[in-house]
Structure 1
């Protein structure tokens, strides 16, 4: 039996420029970045368009058949889009509602990759290639009381760990309740400062008001999912906020947003609905 598929029976084709095709093969992109790039190509060249207005959720639905999975991965797709824009593979003049297109291959600035060793359960050192941090600003790391390194924003889809709120000095230490009941305010503060700290005012202290606003984000439910209980979602959200030029100071007053403004429920929904 032949394993050759006749082209005429595939149901159509999407043309691709040879230089772009070779460049995507050679580019040291992450798997998600490559999939997003191919989706953008499908939506542009596949429909004879130079650029396309497309939401991150739409691309996520192209990548995942399961509706719930597509919704939960929307923030990661948005992050991949921003990473491709920063590496000059894609171009978008404005915010998330503006058209997006490919830049010429000779303008691409692909991040260099680094190789690290990780130990497997068999105590065998295996080389593992990881991408350079694709956030706008480098993310700091801290060490928790157990000596474990805690990254301000998770580099995987791992949920944020909850942290107990401060109790009175005379109160006995209580066992930590479920994650949904305790909010890792300090880690969210670190993510904000890492992503926005050199463009927007740094968050030096979490007041009661700020904690209340963060709690509103933490408990926000969309299609049965709590997206803000994931470290990568906070990183992607704050990154998307920086694409709003008015919020970053491009206005007649020189005003800039801060963590209180960005965690207001109306502003959160404005950003999410634009993805």
Structure 2
């Protein structure tokens, strides 16, 4: 114990206290490496200053965690969806670490002990759609006029498996069939990101499906960005940055899923970045 006290006495920078339950939960949490780094950065900027929540710029978290600014916005959206962190209000409202009992973290690394035969056709539990298991790997990072720059090295199956299904031929990406588009999952992402600020999507009618299909088949620089699950999360998160769309107008009007999936509005958001 004396060594511990001596170490603290020699440390000029002080230290941040962490609740033991939170510490244990973060150790056990099935978060990606970058999700954990962003969560720790938020904890440092809240608990480190004895506050439960604070306004923290994504650029500041990016500098702390050594992650690109665009990726930080996407990761914050994922942590909000999984309830690891909370935010009171719009995209610039204070954020903080949620109680551990409220966390709803996706299972990313599920392994079974028994040996399994090689499947003829694989179905991902995290991807939006089924996909052939032997497609060639392809780097389709979107860098121009995009909400996120997908990092192929993250190893997150949700994004890579969806990209493989959407573009089976790396040189000739073909439009997806309408019945293969995961309308329900896209509506769920909208409700998770926007449901507390904008009207929730309670039903997918033909018009809404037609608008979602238009986004799904939107090609930018040879890439179909909306065929990546994380792109939808980042896109809806960026839509909340518009004060006019979130009710700050003389009518109290707010956007909904139909408005945000109109192609002219989609391009307006992407081209503004």
Report TM bin, short chain.
0.5 to 0.7
TM-score (norm 1): 0.54
Q: 1:112–1:176: structure 2 CA closer, same or farther, 3 Å change rule? A: closer
Verify the 8 A CA contact 1:246 1:256 in the aligned structure 2: no
Within 5 Å, which residues of 2 pair with 1:1-275?
6-7=7-8, 10-17=11-18, 20-26=19-25, 28-32=28-32, 33-47=35-49, 49-64=51-66, 70-71=68-69, 73-74=71-72, 76-84=74-82, 86=83, 89-103=84-98, 105=99, 108-111=101-104, 116-118=110-112, 123=115, 142-143=129-130, 155-158=157-160, 160-161=163-164, 163=166, 176=169, 178=171, 182=174, 184=176, 190=183, 192-196=186-190, 199-200=200-201, 202=204, 204=206, 211=214, 215=218, 218-219=220-221, 228=225, 231-240=228-237, 252=252, 256-258=256-258, 259-260=261-262, 264-268=266-270
Q: Distance in 2 between matches of 1:212 and 1:242?
A: 14
Q: Distance in 2 between matches of 1:7 and 1:147?
A: 53
What 5-or-longer segments of structure 2 have no aligned partner?
118-124, 135-155
Structure 1 residue 63, shift from structure 2 partner? 2.2
Verify the 8 A CA contact 1:214 1:263 in the aligned structure 2: no
- Which of the two has greater strand per residue? 1
Q: Distance in 2 between matches of 1:109 and 1:234?
A: 25
What 5-or-longer segments of structure 1 have no aligned partner?
126-132, 134-138, 149-153, 165-174, 221-225
Q: Deviations over 1:90-135 (max 9, x none)?
A: 33111221111245x4x74123776843589xx589xxxxxxx9xx
Q: Distance in 1 between matches of 2:232 and 2:212?
A: 21
Structure 1 residue 25, shift from structure 2 partner? 1.5
Q: Deviations over 1:134-181 (max 9, x none)?
A: xxxxx885445x599xxxxx74441613757xxxxxxxxxx94626x5
Question: RMSD over aligned Cα, in angstroms?
Answer: 5.0
Q: Deviations over 1:62-115 (max 9, x none)?
A: 223xxxx6256335412333135x3xx533111221111245x4x741237768
Q: 1:156–1:92: structure 2 CA closer, same or farther, 3 Å change rule? A: same
Q: How many residues align?
A: 221
